[in-house]
Structure 1
Amino acid sequence: MKVKLFILLCFLFVLGNQAVVAQERTVEPEVGEPVVLRLVYTFTQQAVKDRESVYITDTMVLEVGMNGSVYYDWNKNRRDSLAAIRFTEPVNHKITLSVDENALQVRLEAQKQVYDVLDAGKGQSYRIYKKRDKEEVVTIDEGPLEGFDTETYFQLTENIPPQAWKMSGDTSTVLNYLCQKASATFRGRTYVAWFTLDIPINDGPWKFYGLPGLILKVQDLENKFCFLAIGLQKAGGESITMPTDRKRVSCNLKELSDFKKNERRYISVGFVENGGVTYYRTKNPVTYFSLERGD
């Protein structure tokens, strides 16, 4: 099964001005290895909205090379492009931010038309690079603003050996590939993975790897997270490279996690007013679980 994919580059409008303490790090542009295979996964996660469970699904891409890979949100660039168009069409770039929740409620109760909603929790903003031969995982994610409008990337570099997978005799079929079952505990959660020896590449979605075949499905035992391959194709000459359009700032896992949690705490609802758009910040009704529990 082959699915035509479009290679997307990252650009995100960041609404956030949290101050995060991190050490600046200069990183030279990197030229990566060729992509040999591209997979599309659905990433489904459980969340809570108004005290009820909801499930949110994003479409992710894994581009695999002989020694490394990159994993990212397939739709991110399209969402950001649409957001950029919204900012330029009717409002002539005049944007006002407000934290007056009473004013927001007045507009909602009056059923005033909502122009836009900024939600940092929508989609996945990170790109995860594995260097399997070095047992290194590098996460590049949206970082804090420098000054008023200068965007940065956070860079988290981790030494992550292959997960300690325990093999099972069980089999299943994913994408018409015969898969074998394995399980492992990683970052506070226990996962069941299905991998295929028909594609003998030691990789998988997110930070998973370490099996003698490509991982096509991973699910935790609490059914809060599921990664499922839905398509694959051979690559067409692309390379795995890291973004160089912004300054990268090094961080640790806690700094990155705290920053992203803080971003997701609020959404901003925009209304066209006085020739521009006024965004009113309010608490995000959706609460997310952490993949890396206990860190």
Structure 2
Amino acid sequence: MKQLLAIFCICTLSICSAAQEKPGKNIIDQASLRCYYAFSKKKPTDLKPYRVDTMVLDIGSELSRFYDPARLGRDSLIAAKMKNTDASIIKSISIFKGENSKDLSGMVGTVSSNSAEGESVQVFKSKKSNQLKVLDYVGMGQRFLYLDSLDKMSWKVLPDTATIASYPCQKASLNFRGRDYIAWFTTEVPVNDGPWKFSGLPGLIVKIEDTEALFSFQLVGLKQLSTPQLIQLEEKSSLKCTRAEFEKQKLKQGAGMQVNFNAGDMIIAEIPGQVDYTPIEIE
């Protein structure tokens, strides 16, 4: 039983760190501007996107954070389920993963986070260091962190103009890690930032998509925050790796995680199957 409780504690710490924000030492900036983007994904053979999620870009004076609040909320349900369970009333813990993964959706009280629903990635851009940090996790609470540089984007600003999301915009093009992109930015919002890893234009990126229209980000809302939003980064529980190492792990990502607790019996299980992962970066 002691060994099972040890496993339980390890899983709890890992998942809680991935899903929850912590006050104090990991506060690195405060955001005064919040941008909402519709992020749509499409398969090469499809006519319409198979998924659209609302992503958030919080922009501070030195740092920005790009994330999916709905996905983080679902992940937090699992973290809360495990954190708030009194270990003294646990009679048994069963863990199913890999080839032994199990679907708990038919059991009353199951909470789950499906890897195919929403984006678990968080991107932190630093103006001061000209670097970005990418946090994402694969499988049962295993979170990875890798560093990247903001110097790798060579934009070509074009003369074309258009009005997008009520903002006058100018066109720009970019080749980035195997894909060609068309972006529209506005100088009416004079911040050098945009969705995901994109930045480096003389204004906020309002829309950007690759020329195959597989990945598209479009601004759907912008809010000046009356109360600054803390931008927090917790690195201690993350496994540091390279981008190439992370992509290898992502290709093996499971379908998600479920937790069920009933009559003293806790079951922690990977959802059977794997995610059909299409990387944005192919070089």
Q: Same fold judged by TM-score > 0.5?
A: yes
- Contact 1:10 1:76 survives alignment (8 Å): no
Q: 1:277 to 1:53 in 2, by over 3 A?
A: farther
Q: Which residue of 1 aligns with 2:252?
A: 262
More helix by share: 2
Q: Which residue of 2 aligns with 1:243?
A: 234
Q: 1:113 to 1:53 in 2, by over 3 A?
A: farther
- 1:211 maps to amino acid: L
Q: 1:47 to 1:86 in 2, by over 3 A?
A: farther
- 2:184 maps to amino acid: W
Matches within 5 A, 1:107-186: 118-142=113-137, 153-161=143-151, 163-186=153-176
Cα-to-partner distance string for 1:129-164 (whole Å, 9 max, x where unaligned): 11134321111223677xxxxx56422112231621
- CA distance in 2 between partners of 1:66 and 1:269 (Å): 38
- Contact 2:206 2:218 survives alignment (8 Å): yes
Deviation at 1:36, TM superposition (A): 2.4
Confirm or deny that 1:33 pairs with 2:22.
Answer: no
Q: 1:241 to 1:142 in 2, by over 3 A?
A: same
- CA distance in 2 between partners of 1:278 and 1:290 (Å): 28
Root-mean-square deviation (CA), in Å?
3.8
Matches within 5 A, 1:192-231: 192-231=182-221
Deviation at 1:226, TM superposition (A): 0.3
- CA distance in 2 between partners of 1:53 and 1:211 (Å): 29
- CA distance in 2 between partners of 1:282 and 1:34 (Å): 39
Q: 1:205 to 1:177 in 2, by over 3 A?
A: same
SS at match of 1:128: strand
Cα-to-partner distance string for 1:23-46 (whole Å, 9 max, x where unaligned): xxxxx9444233121101111112
- CA distance in 2 between partners of 1:70 and 1:210 (Å): 15
- CA distance in 1 between partners of 2:143 and 2:66 (Å): 16
Q: Which residue of 2 aligns with 1:80?
A: 75
Q: Which moved more, 1:198-207 or 1:116-125?
A: 116-125
- 1:97 maps to amino acid: F
- CA distance in 2 between partners of 1:262 and 1:128 (Å): 21
- CA distance in 2 between partners of 1:56 and 1:144 (Å): 21
- Contact 1:48 1:287 survives alignment (8 Å): no
Deviation at 1:53, TM superposition (A): 7.4
Q: 1:164 to 1:142 in 2, by over 3 A?
A: same
TM-score in terms of structure 2 length = 0.74
Q: Which moved more, 1:51-60 or 1:61-70?
A: 51-60
Q: 1:258 to 1:179 in 2, by over 3 A?
A: same
- Contact 1:46 1:289 survives alignment (8 Å): no
Where do 5+ consecutive residues of structure 1 fail to align?
Answer: 1-8, 14-27, 146-150
Q: 1:212 to 1:259 in 2, by over 3 A?
A: same
- 2:239 maps to amino acid: V
Q: Count residues in correspondence.
A: 256
Deviation at 1:54, TM superposition (A): 5.3
- CA distance in 1 between partners of 2:44 and 2:209 (Å): 19
- CA distance in 2 between partners of 1:198 and 1:132 (Å): 20
- CA distance in 1 between partners of 2:135 and 2:256 (Å): 23
TM-score in terms of structure 1 length = 0.71
- Contact 2:34 2:223 survives alignment (8 Å): yes
Identity of aligned residues (%): 29
Cα-to-partner distance string for 1:44-88 (whole Å, 9 max, x where unaligned): 112489x99752112111011233211111212321234457778
Q: Which residue of 2 aligns with 1:97?
A: 96
- 2:96 maps to amino acid: L
- CA distance in 2 between partners of 1:192 and 1:228 (Å): 12
- CA distance in 1 between partners of 2:258 and 2:238 (Å): 29
